[in-house]
Amino acid sequence: MALRSSLPHMEIGDSDLEGWEVKGSGGFGQVYKVRHKKWWCDVAVKLLHCDDGTSSSLLREVKMMSKGSSPYVIQVLGVFKGQLPFPGPSVKLGLVMEFMERGSLFSLQRNLQGPPPWPLAFRLTHQVALGINFLHNLSPALLHLDLKPSNVLLDSSLNAKLTDFGLARFSQSVTRISKKDRDEEEGGTISYMPPEAFSISYNPTRASDIYSYGILLWSIVTGKEPYPYAPSSIVRFRIPQGDRPSLDEIRRLAAGLAGLARLMELMQRCWETKPAQRPNAHACTIVTEELYKMHKRAITDAVHEVLKKLVRNKSLVHMNQIRVERAHICEDVQTGRPPIQVRLTSNVLLTSSLRNDINKIIGSKHYLL
């Protein structure tokens, strides 16, 4: 099947793009920030690994992301097919998407070294819930199946949008997923997977996303990754047994912060072991909207505070890079006494006695000019 006739989006060639800059990579491929020459704006290009030599994986993700067109889901602008401006395979395929200037929620957590200010945290929980609710209300419903901080992207004002539909499924097309297929697809996100995913085989449902959303809520509030030091084999065993991230830190904070206790209650409902006991996405948005309204008045200051910190951190990184470069330069410069230069006229005969005198001077650490 021809690529051009199969895709609902315009095809964008290498001649349309310039200024390729790597922004991220993973098992799916690499993400670049590039400039579209005609549109005169930055876009993101996600190059895909097509191991079977076809465009099947590209077609599949375009189909998923096209269905998920929402203010809270990343927008696909076209399909890339062309050559890259550096060594590699002759022709690559990829998705051209809107560029999210502030990266992912995961990168924000690393830069802040903790959670964002509470007004922003509550807005993030609500916007992610809105994205999930939109996907789950499509006909048929679209299951994301890979919700985690790195798949929540942030625009210049730190608004959130869902991305990466490489594992997504339409609910009517979901079949039982074998353990082999699940192991190949989970992509290092085991700590966000629901208990039922660790059975020999299971049918993903909307409740699968809701469990992942509950763990994501915990990560947003704490600024941490769940089970950071636990081996994957232990996580696989303990999650179905009912183990969840610790709530001790959140309980301490909840006493003095409006809405946090209720948000903690929501995350616990979302990560219930039995899928039937978890709320649906619409119920989640009702709660998160109410909680965000409690803190909405301070959202502008919260965003400004974070953006200032990001700029300051970037400046510090740049200064450290300059220090390192200067240190390398200093290491390359030879130190010590400068070389001896003897200036003699052409008619001076360098006798043995003169050589001895010069050697004495050099030995006494004087310089002959």
Active site amino acids = 146
Tokens at 274, concatenated: 């039995």
Q: How far apart are CA 49 and CA 34, in angstroms?
A: 19
Considering only CA atoms, which of 188, 336, 207, 214 is closest in space to residue 274?
Answer: 207
- Exposed, middle or buried by CB within 10 Å (0-12, 13-18, 19+), for 352? exposed
The greatest distance separating any two alpha carbons of the chain, rounded to the nearest whole angstrom, comes to 105
Radius of gyration of the chain (CA): 29
Question: Angle formed by the axes of helices 118-136 and 281-295, to 10°?
Answer: 160
Q: How far apart are CA 146 and CA 151, in angstroms?
A: 8
CA dihedral 54, 57, 60, 66 (to 10 degrees): -110
Where is 35: in which H helix or E strand?
strand 29-36
Tokens at 140, concatenated: 């048929």
Question: Is 160 in contact with 105 (CB distance < 8 Å)?
Answer: yes
Question: Is 299 in contact with 118 (CB distance < 8 Å)?
Answer: no
